[in-house]
Structure 1
Amino acid sequence: MHNPVKQATDQLEALIQAAAKSAMEDGSLPSCELPDFVVEIPGDTKFGDFASNIAMVSARAFRMAPQKIAQVILDHLDFSDSLFVRAEVAGPGFLNFFLAPRWFGSVLECIAGDGDAYGRSDYGKQEKVMIEFVSANPTGPMHMGNARGGAIGDCLASAMDAAGYDVTREFYVNDAGNQIEKFAKSLEARYLQIYKGEDAIEFPEDGYHGEDIKERAQEFAGLHGDKYLNVPDQERRQALVDYALPRNIQKLHDDLEKYRIVYDVWFRESTLHESGAVQEAIEALKKRGLAYESEGAVWYKATEFGAEKDEVLVRQNGNPTYFAADIAYHYNKFAVRGFSRCINVWGADHHGHVARLKGAMDAIGLDGSKLDIILMQLVRLMKDGEPYRMSKRTGKSITLGDILEEIPIDAARFFFNMREAGSALDFDLDLAVEQSSQNPVYYVQYAHARICSIEKKLAAEKIAYDPAKAELQKLTEPGEIELIRRLAGLPGEIIEAARSYDPARLTHYAIDVATLFHKFYNACRVVGEDTGLMQARIMLCMTTRQVLRNVLRLLKINAPETM
């Protein structure tokens, strides 16, 4: 697996270090330890393909002006047998470096050689990472926030896998505690209303008002009739939950699979209670002197870990809180299953829970810094230029299922990954279904399909693609160089998406490559009399298609051959 940019960066760092060492040996620079310096691709590459701040950061160590240091290093640089041909001093002492033409050709050879594996790396060193995302309550359908969280979490998992991490995707099923009690009472009220009328049976004020609750109650009544009308409340509620909960969880499975999300693990909260793990976590905190009893409840000393107030772990009625189960769950992730890093994708409304859960990991003897929380801002659905109203519990909520019925799955996954998680997102329903270059996913897919049509056209003209005849050094047009430079960046973009937890980088990258390809194709004629140049341009087309295909595969978006 190749990373052309890293290869050039590593070589350039070695060239700079060798030049500085040579200058120290002949007395041009005083002997000292070379400080850390940066080699990077500048924002404007017309002044150089790479740049370094070596002279700027070493001014104090060498007790010399940066421009003079830069000139000394420049005089000692040896570019023979390297990927670079020259360098120059710029501004207050920056060094700009220019790549040899053969590097650009080598990029296409790397892509062609790696094929579907191009972009992958061993950056993560197989670190064992879990990404928990969506984890919607099984008391109702998934909403817009879950749709965004699903796309972000799943594409981040793909990026981290491609960057060399050992990634597990997990869904945490909240099938215990208060929300299940509320679910049971809501189902019970709707079931009783079927036989006694809505006026006779008061619906719980904090119950779940969605149409899905009515549907489950109707299904249950269709199966059992009035059999559960006159049994004890707890028996009725348990029967309703035993019927409705598995069906709701299966619906979560089905909707997420339709959305192309397949989890490695579905972890049930109830197993933490049944196994005694919740109580064990509470006892562990007690042994550490970080839990105490007061007013008939058990409390966690959250204030010792930066919180404003202590937290209840066990209520006065003897039932553990959700927070107690959450501590046990994350203890299970780290201590029992051995993940070295855990990433949770949460809605921004959970921001108050971040510090206290990380603190609780420290309190129970783990490292809270190994728990990373991605806080995801709200989605505003737009239609006809206006906000599309939605409300979470009134039965009018926009569900994931609604979204997938209204727009293509490709568009949903692409659009929900168009901005970093911490930014609010306006989702334009009209644009998502538009078949034009204004629709970013259509634009990217069209670039892929366009290259496929080029291949078909060449075959029709009986022109065979022969990479051995490609004279890659002839690819010197600005549009060609710009496109190749961007193709070379895929491994680095995947690594950065994984490192910064920002899979939106991949959608932006795909748009960039599509834009540069269209620009190249409109400026450069592929079929011509010069066989070597023609084959080189065909190779540029084919490797661009490979890169687009690889990125779209990570995003789990189709790469169509015709549109």
Structure 2
Amino acid sequence: MKGLVQEVREHLAGALERALASAVSRGLLPAVTPPAFVVEVPREKEHGDFATNLAMLLARPARLAPRKIAEALVAHLDLTGISVEKVEVAGPGFINFYLAPHWVLAELPRIIGADHDYGRVNLGNGSRVQVEFVSANPTGLLHMGNARGAALGDSIAAILDFAGYRVTREYYINDAGNQIENFGRSLEARYFQLLGLPAQVPEEGYHGEDIIDTVRGFVERFGDQYLHAPEDERRRALVDYALKEKLAAIKKALEDFGVHYDVWFSEKSLHESGAVQEAIDILRRRGYLYEYEGALWFKATEFGVEKDEVLVRSNGVPTYFAADIAYHLDKFRRGFDRVINIWGADHHGHVARMKGAVAALGYNPHALEIVIMQLVRLYRGGELVRMSKRSGQFVTLEELVEEVGRDAARYFFVLRSADSHLDFDLDLAKEQSNENPVYYIQYAHARICSILRQMDREAPLPEQVDLGLLKEEAELALARKLADFPEEVALGAKDLAPHRMARYLHEVAGLLHSFYNSHRVITGDEALTAARLVLVDATRIVLRNGLRLLGLSAPERM
């Protein structure tokens, strides 16, 4: 579905191309190949509804002043079928288009007709995309970085789906490697302690209170059954029990956060199936491995990385990177056209070598897209919040949702671009006022629902209404912003940027509140009331659809 804004942009671009051909055929401009120009919405309203840089781009190949080119183009423009009231040449050669004030009202019937599907675009054309996010070690509770990754990843997946991609949400379970060994030693130390024996949790181990709770459950079930068992058997039993419990807790926390995965992929399965060894063998056959000091190295420097990377240690144990390569090989073999990873800032140095490994495997490294997200800092009462009651180290996702609610948490996590540090104000997130952007947006939706309830009926159908009665600046500004929704979806999908949608919804809510505060919807004029009901109903649809893309509810009462 194309929005009205995109349609007008395309019509203007076509008219400009025809004007160029006409001016060339009349000898007013030299024969030149049309460059890749843009028709865009100017930042400043006084520069028109749309503007183009075509004349500026033609200046060099045509060897003419851009204003002269612009004047020739304008003289040959045929704008039949486009509601253009005025065209002007501005500045060094920009062409600005001013449309009739009512032009955007044609989008209102489309919004209401499409309803839940309004804003859908076919950017992806059905191509397959995998979005892998969170993928926290199943050794403890989810923290703020995981929470931000969950909100970002799930919103990106939802926007991509709405933009015409077939999306798979995936969680990579890190259930193998050094962290699991450390986990086993930590569990064992707590096991001994709970049975009254002296033991020390390793310094690099897991020290949270939740680990003690986990082992206490193990003791309640198995008692001292594993006290005198061989070390490997004891640790394996403890790890198997703890991983099952921790993974269940992670799944529940994410589901409570509104995040549901299509695939839960086990790192351990890569080792057990031989996939890690297969990936290593492929890289060896393709000439990207060498041995040095007993270890097996990947030639990462051939792909612009600073140094080569170990894939198999001198003791014969594959590194985490080897498993990661095998995992990405599996992703591409499953037929995904794009693979998107949401990683924390501490993984920044891993990006280039992972893309290099994808290229070494024979796949397009540009098909792997990695979103790096920066850290989150929590503030309460203007003070930095450092500790968690449950983990003893960090505030957990469960604690955050319990304190501020799912909607506020999710919105605040996507309020800034992923590459920006995020300061999360707990007091603001809980505030029920216009200062809280989540409340502000949701209240706009609830306010419209209240208006429709007052009328005790649904909004009238657009075809039964004279939308030309909507002439106030506040009405037209709101309608104009609603028409941007399909484009916001497309740009959000293209840039993997859900913060655009968060900002857009706040702007829509602001225009709705501004309109409502200056003009009555239900008036003594039945025809005007009907037109305004169509406008606010279209606003309701856009707010609801946008909120759902961010995983937020659209309450009808507040």
TM-score class, shorter-chain normalisation, is over 0.9
- The answer to whether residue 366 in structure 2 is matched with residue 378 in structure 1 is no
Which is worse superposed, 75-84 or 150-159?
75-84
- Which residue matches 2:268? 270
Which amino acid in the other structure matches residue 331 of structure 1? L
Please give the per-residue CA displacement for 1:305-335, whole angstroms capped at 9, x wherever unaligned.
223322221122222110100000001111x
- Conservation of the 8 A alpha-carbon contact between 1:376 and 1:421: yes
- Conservation of the 8 A alpha-carbon contact between 2:209 and 2:390: no
Within the candidate set 413, 416, 433, 1:416 is matched to 413
Q: Distance in 1 between matches of 2:294 and 2:331?
A: 30
Partner-residue secondary structure (3-state), 1:480: helix
- Give the 5 Å matches for 1:156-175: 156-175=156-175
Q: Distance in 2 between matches of 1:466 and 1:263?
A: 38
- The answer to whether residue 246 in structure 2 is matched with residue 251 in structure 1 is no
- Which residue matches 1:36? 36
- Which residue matches 2:200? 202
Within the candidate set 534, 537, 544, 1:539 is matched to 534
Change in 2 beyond 3 A, CA 1:207/1:126: same
TM-aligned CA deviation for residue 73 of structure 1: 1.5
TM-aligned CA deviation for residue 508 of structure 1: 0.3
Partner-residue secondary structure (3-state), 2:172: strand
Q: Distance in 1 between matches of 2:275 and 2:83?
A: 57
- The answer to whether residue 512 in structure 2 is matched with residue 517 in structure 1 is yes
Within the candidate set 468, 477, 499, 1:504 is matched to 499
Change in 2 beyond 3 A, CA 1:122/1:554: same
Q: Distance in 1 between matches of 2:556 and 2:201?
A: 54
- Which residue matches 2:292? 294
Please give the per-residue CA displacement for 1:67-123, whole angstroms capped at 9, x wherever unaligned.
222222212112222243331111221111122345322110110111110000101
TM-aligned CA deviation for residue 47 of structure 1: 3.0
- Conservation of the 8 A alpha-carbon contact between 2:102 and 2:471: no
- Which residue matches 2:146? 146
Which is worse superposed, 298-307 or 262-271?
298-307
Change in 2 beyond 3 A, CA 1:477/1:47: farther
- Conservation of the 8 A alpha-carbon contact between 1:208 and 1:393: no
Q: Distance in 1 between matches of 2:344 and 2:388?
A: 16
- Which residue matches 2:311? 313
- The answer to whether residue 523 in structure 2 is matched with residue 528 in structure 1 is yes
Partner-residue secondary structure (3-state), 2:130: strand
- Which residue matches 2:106? 106
- The answer to whether residue 422 in structure 2 is matched with residue 404 in structure 1 is no
TM-aligned CA deviation for residue 373 of structure 1: 1.0
- Which residue matches 1:430? 427
- Conservation of the 8 A alpha-carbon contact between 1:487 and 1:547: yes
- Conservation of the 8 A alpha-carbon contact between 2:377 and 2:423: yes
- Which residue matches 2:13? 13
Partner-residue secondary structure (3-state), 2:195: helix
- Which residue matches 2:546? 551
- Which residue matches 1:80? 80
Structure 2 residues not aligned, in runs of 5+: none
Which amino acid in the other structure matches residue 451 of structure 1? I
- Conservation of the 8 A alpha-carbon contact between 1:8 and 1:83: no
Please give the per-residue CA displacement for 1:126-185, whole angstroms capped at 9, x wherever unaligned.
221111000010011111100000000000111111111111110000111111111111
Which amino acid in the other structure matches residue 310 of structure 1? D
- Conservation of the 8 A alpha-carbon contact between 1:209 and 1:393: no
- Which residue matches 1:323? 321
- Give the 5 Å matches for 1:340-379: 340-379=337-376
TM-aligned CA deviation for residue 242 of structure 1: 1.7
- Which residue matches 1:184? 184
Q: Distance in 1 between matches of 2:355 and 2:189?
A: 39
- Conservation of the 8 A alpha-carbon contact between 2:170 and 2:262: yes
Which amino acid in the other structure matches residue 448 of structure 2? I
Which amino acid in the other structure matches residue 502 of structure 2? T
Structure 1 residues not aligned, in runs of 5+: none
Q: Distance in 2 between matches of 1:117 and 1:2?
A: 12
TM-aligned CA deviation for residue 509 of structure 1: 0.5
Please give the per-residue CA displacement for 1:442-498, whole angstroms capped at 9, x wherever unaligned.
000000011111112223xx8973533422122222111211111000111111111
Q: Distance in 2 between matches of 1:44 and 1:532?
A: 33
Q: Distance in 1 between matches of 2:21 and 2:464?
A: 42
- Conservation of the 8 A alpha-carbon contact between 1:189 and 1:202: yes
- Conservation of the 8 A alpha-carbon contact between 2:107 and 2:483: yes
- Which residue matches 2:117? 117
Change in 2 beyond 3 A, CA 1:473/1:62: farther
Percent identity reads: 54
Change in 2 beyond 3 A, CA 1:356/1:392: farther
TM-aligned CA deviation for residue 395 of structure 1: 2.4
- Conservation of the 8 A alpha-carbon contact between 2:105 and 2:476: no
TM-aligned CA deviation for residue 522 of structure 1: 1.7
TM-score, normalised to structure 1's length?
A: 0.96
TM-aligned CA deviation for residue 192 of structure 1: 0.9
Change in 2 beyond 3 A, CA 1:392/1:319: farther
- Which residue matches 2:220? 222
Q: How many residues align?
A: 558
- Conservation of the 8 A alpha-carbon contact between 2:102 and 2:476: no
Which amino acid in the other structure matches residue 172 of structure 1? Y
Change in 2 beyond 3 A, CA 1:167/1:292: same
Q: Distance in 2 between matches of 1:463 and 1:393?
A: 48
Which is worse superposed, 436-445 or 12-21?
12-21
Q: Distance in 1 between matches of 2:95 and 2:469?
A: 27
- Conservation of the 8 A alpha-carbon contact between 2:101 and 2:476: no
Partner-residue secondary structure (3-state), 1:313: strand
Which is worse superposed, 516-525 or 144-153?
516-525
TM-aligned CA deviation for residue 4 of structure 1: 1.0
- Conservation of the 8 A alpha-carbon contact between 2:141 and 2:391: no
TM-aligned CA deviation for residue 343 of structure 1: 0.9
Partner-residue secondary structure (3-state), 2:114: helix
TM-aligned CA deviation for residue 548 of structure 1: 0.3
Which amino acid in the other structure matches residue 539 of structure 1? V
TM-aligned CA deviation for residue 393 of structure 1: 11
TM-aligned CA deviation for residue 17 of structure 1: 1.2
Q: Distance in 2 between matches of 1:270 and 1:260?
A: 27
Change in 2 beyond 3 A, CA 1:18/1:472: same
Q: Distance in 1 between matches of 2:160 and 2:286?
A: 36
Q: Distance in 2 between matches of 1:406 and 1:228?
A: 39
Which amino acid in the other structure matches residue 346 of structure 1? W
- The answer to whether residue 95 in structure 2 is matched with residue 95 in structure 1 is yes
Which is worse superposed, 81-90 or 273-282?
81-90
TM-aligned CA deviation for residue 392 of structure 1: 12
Change in 2 beyond 3 A, CA 1:310/1:64: closer
TM-aligned CA deviation for residue 32 of structure 1: 2.6
Q: Distance in 1 between matches of 2:24 and 2:201?
A: 83
TM-score, normalised to structure 2's length?
A: 0.97
- Conservation of the 8 A alpha-carbon contact between 1:143 and 1:392: no
- Which residue matches 1:3? 3
Query: What's the C-alpha RMSD, in Å, of the aligned pairs?
Result: 1.7
- The answer to whether residue 283 in structure 2 is matched with residue 285 in structure 1 is yes
